[in-house]
Amino acid sequence: MYDYLIRFYIFLRKKAVQKKLITNVGSINVDHVYRVPYFVKPGETLQTVSYQRVLGGKGANQSIALSRAGEAVQHVGAIGEDHKWILSEMANSNVGIEDISILQVPTGHALIQVDDNAENCILLYPGANEALDLSDLKKSFDGIKPDSWVLFQNEMPNLKEMITLAKSQGAKVAVNPAPFDLKAKDLPYDIIDLLIVNDIEAAELAEARLEGDQSKLSSLCPLVIVTQGTKGAICFHQGETIEVPAFIVKAVDTTGAGDTFVGYLLSSIANGMDLGSAMKRASAASALAVTKSGASIAIPTSQEVEAFLNKQSGV
């Protein structure tokens, strides 16, 4: 019965989707979220305030953010047999699930501590995410239309090869290379159309490739967006710098705020919005996300973001 419902969903979605798809190749995790007064110390046993099991993973979060921003999004990724409920949850968020493989490997998962300051500390097990084969990706890329967007994060294997493959299909490539590591420093940035990093990742990339000069990030990639938490975001593009301040809200949980920003930013850019407005919309979405607990479940809809922006401007 379950498999029949999934197949029926796929049939309906193929009938319904008319606009150009954004393809997101990304991780899918089960998040185990523990609310704690403070992060546990070595050797300490700490009783948690609450517990939630929710859908997560940077890839899944960003796909849901894209969908709630109003985009038609196809997710490419992998889960294990142990958590098939993920498929229906992503489908309920109107994310395309046809290219999600079910493998004989445990689903990736994360253990997340969220403290009284709304900060988080994450322990990640990649699981099925690392088992996705490059040959499977080639099949998923067969239907990509030229000039459509493909989004990547750094929680998947063969990232350099995947970016190159997407570009060879004529796609525009957006990359959020988080979590940032050694392989992220060696990506083919010259073929990436949109790079989104946080301030720490930007500093590490500049140190590795530009002698520490972040103002030269656009020499690596034509369009670079750097998120700076409560300081807002900054854009480097063709010698121009655009800064957008953060919205002031009462934060409950910052988990997934960056993924919300990425999804809304790409949605806005894909629809031709100017960079300043795109960054402002993405900042508003991430601000709303931190006012709720959880990652994917906290991502706002486009209507909620629009109402928030109108309220901020006094409309």
The residues carrying an active-site annotation are 259
Strand residues in 107-154 grouped as ranges (E): 108-114, 120-125, 149-153
DSSP 61-117: HHHHHHHHTT--EEEEEEEEGGGTHHHHHHHHTTEEEEEEEEESSPPEEEEEEE-TT
Amino acid letter for position 227: T
Q: Which helix (H) or strand (E) holds 56?
A: strand 50-56
Cα dihedral value 27, 189, 254, 207, nearest 10: 130
CB-based contacts of 259, cutoff 8 Å, min separation 6: 58, 61, 62, 65, 176, 295, 299
Amino acid letter for position 249: V
Cα dihedral value 31, 99, 154, 114, nearest 10: -10
CB crowding 233-253: b at 16 or more within 10 Å, else e = bbbbbeeeeeebebbeeebbb
DSSP type of residue 311? H
What six digits make up the tokens of 278? Answer: 């795109």
**Distances from the Cα of 7 to the Cα of 14, 42, 112, 229, angstroms:** 11, 47, 33, 40
Q: Which residue has the tokens 């517990």?
A: 51
| 154, 130 Cβ separation under 8 angstroms | no
